[in-house]
């Protein structure tokens, strides 16, 4: 599934462009572009990357980050009580 090492070889060793890399690896051009940009940011040469396992290279290029919820969930108990009331409109969400 992952083709990072092949993309690295094609880009760093053979100096191919995005579209030829995408065709050779059978991935979209946007995915190939993302991989190449990450390789540029890393700044390593292919000899360094070729000795790495695919998972190690993936974690190096795409580090896992903890995500926290951006917005708290609404108070469902309060909303349930409001919805049970007769008449009127339900409360608007902010």
List the chain domain ranges: 4-61
Burial 46-58 (b: 16+ CB within 10 A, else e): beebeebeeeebb
Mean pLDDT, range 63-78, rounded to an integer: 84
Q: Name residue, tokens 């094609």.
A: 10
Percent of the chain with pLDDT over 90: 45
31-49: pLDDT as tens digits: 999 999 999 999 988 888 8
Residue among 62, 1, 26, 58 at smallest CA distance from 10 = 26
Higher pLDDT, 71 or 21: 21
Q: What is the pTM of this model?
A: 0.66
pLDDT at position 77 is 93
């Amino acid at each position: 599934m992952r083709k990072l090492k092949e993309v690295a070889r094609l880009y760093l060793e053979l100096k191919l462009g995005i579209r030829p890399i995408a065709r050779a690896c059978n991935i979209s051009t946007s995915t190939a572009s993302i991989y190449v940009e990450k390789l540029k940011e890393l700044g390593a040469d292919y000899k360094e990357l070729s000795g790495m396992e695919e998972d190690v290279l993936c974690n190096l290029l795409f580090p896992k980050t903890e995500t926290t919820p951006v917005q708290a969930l609404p108070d469902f108990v309060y909303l349930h009580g409001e919805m049970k009331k007769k008449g009127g409109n339900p409360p608007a969400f902010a």
